[in-house]
A and B are shown apart, each in its own frame.
Chain A
Amino acid sequence: MQRTTIDLWVGFFVIMGIAALMILSLKVGNLNVYNPSHSYIITGNFENIGGLKVRAPVKSAGVVVGRVTDIQFSTQTYDAMVTMSMDGRFLFPKDTFASILTSGLLGEQYIGLAAGGDETMLKDGDKIMKTNSAMVLEELIGRFLFDKAAEKDSLD
Chain B
Amino acid sequence: MLKRIVSGRIVSGIQSIGHRVIESTWRLGYASRFFILVLLKSGTSLRRFNLVVRELYFTGVLSLIIIVVSGLFVGMVLGLQGYETLQKYGSESAVGTLVALSLVRELGPVVAALLFASRAGSAITAEIGLMKATEQLAAMGMMAVDPVARVVAPRFWAGVISMPFLAAIFSVMGVFGGYLVTVIFIGVDEGSYWSQMQSAVDFRFDILNGFIKSCFFGVAVTAIAVFEGYDAPPTAEGVSGATTRTVVTSSLVILGLDFILTAFMFRGVS
Interface of A toward B, CB cutoff 8 Å: 1, 3, 6-7, 9-10, 12-14, 16-18, 20-21, 23-25, 27-31, 33-34, 36, 53-55, 57, 64, 67
Contacts and interface: CB of A to CB of B under 8 A. Distances in A.
A24 B172 contact: yes
Interface of B: 50, 53-54, 56-57, 60-61, 64, 100, 104, 162, 164-166, 168-169, 171-172, 175, 194, 197-199, 201-207, 210-211, 268-270
A55 B61 contact: no
A9 B57 contact: yes
Given A17-B60, A29-B206, 14 more contacts: A3-B50, A9-B57, A16-B169, A17-B168, A18-B165, A21-B164, A21-B168, A25-B203, A27-B198, A28-B100, A29-B198, A29-B201, A54-B270, A64-B199
Given A29-B201, A57-B199, A17 B53 contact: no
A11 B243 CA distance: 29
A24 B199 CA distance: 13
Contact of B57 (A10, A24, A30, A55): A10
A33 B204 CA distance: 13
30 contacts: A6-B53, A6-B54, A6-B57, A10-B56, A13-B56, A13-B60, A13-B64, A14-B56, A16-B169, A17-B162, A17-B164, A17-B168, A18-B165, A20-B165, A20-B171, A21-B168, A24-B171, A24-B172, A25-B203, A28-B104, A28-B175, A28-B201, A29-B104, A29-B201, A29-B202, A29-B203, A30-B199, A36-B204, A53-B269, A53-B270
Nearest to A24: B207
A54 B268 CA distance: 9
Contacts of A53: 269-270
A23 B103 CA distance: 14
Contacts of B53: 6-7, 10
Nearest to B204: A36
A9 B172 CA distance: 20
A28 B194 CA distance: 7
Contacts of B210: 24
